[in-house]
Amino acid sequence: MLRHLVFVCLIIFSAIAIPIRVRGEVLTESGLVDVPTGRVLQHGIFEAGTYLSFPQKTTNRSTANLGDAVAVRLNFGLFDRLEVGLTHLWDEDDPDSTLARTANLKFLLLKEGESGAVPGVAIGIEALGNTFFFSDSEVESDEMPSAFLAVSKTFNLPRVHLFSLHIGIGTQHFAFEESPIGIFAGLSKEFYPAFARGDIKTSLEFDGAGVNAGMRYTTSSGLQVALGAETLNKPDELRYLAVVSWTNEKLLEQIKETRRLVTQATKLVIEAKRAISEEKTTDKATEPPPSQ
């Protein structure tokens, strides 16, 4: 556990030292690569870490620096309905100056049922920008907030078993070229191999600009390592993503399981004492009276 936390800290500090920038959230716990889903983090769950992006090397100078990125972020859930994300970005030319601080908000309208046809539905807005944190003269940003509505549903099919479908509509970076709005969609599936000592989530999506793919590995301690690639259909704009973060979800699950086991053990002890007491009472009742 300690070495995992040390590893995360080293990654974050090294990321801060790299002077490059990013446009928004990627590979979040409740999202896919670059699109949101109809789910939010549960109350008290948070995810903290850093993410980097590396553009595909190209001879085209106009796209040579496309997508260079580094950021430190924090996402947390409140009341099982609201998820808040905070991101801090650095300028690629001046690591001592802040490029942007943005906030993302997502509100769960409808929680997905464990069975049946009820999907998860969420609305939100991404890249609530610098006016929340700076005066207009301090930081300039050409990115406008992106509003969205996302719907998610898990299906159980033969051979494929459980997988999730995500669709939605949004503005700005979800939009199609000149259109003010656009449609995004994605597929995700989780695996729980015994050798991995954790779970693996894979995803494939279309975000309005291109096709993205990603994979996230979450260890039993909560350490998360994710890799992804954006705009796979556009070689000149292709960029690779790397995320290292930590979530307390696994820790809370372990605490909950420990409490359940303690409660169960306490009940067994109480039942055993009761049985012994009843057995002694029965023995006394059936004991023959002493002879005169």
Average pLDDT in the chain: 78
Query: Which among 14, 95, 97 has a CA at the least distance from the CA of 51?
Result: 14
Residue pLDDT, tens place only, 187-224: 999 888 878 788 899 999 998 888 999 999 999 888 99
Backbone angles phi, psi at 178, to 5 degrees: -85, -10
pLDDT digits (tens, 9 = 90+) for 254-273: 888 899 999 999 998 888 88
Query: In this prediction, what percent of the chain has a pLDDT beyond 70?
Result: 73
Segment 214-241, tens digit of pLDDT: 999 999 888 999 999 988 888 888 888 8
pTM (global) more than 0.85: no
pLDDT (mean) for 55-73: 57
What was the pLDDT predicted at 237? Answer: 80
- Average pLDDT for 103-123: 89
H/E stretch holding 212 reads strand 211-219
CA distance 76 to 45: 6
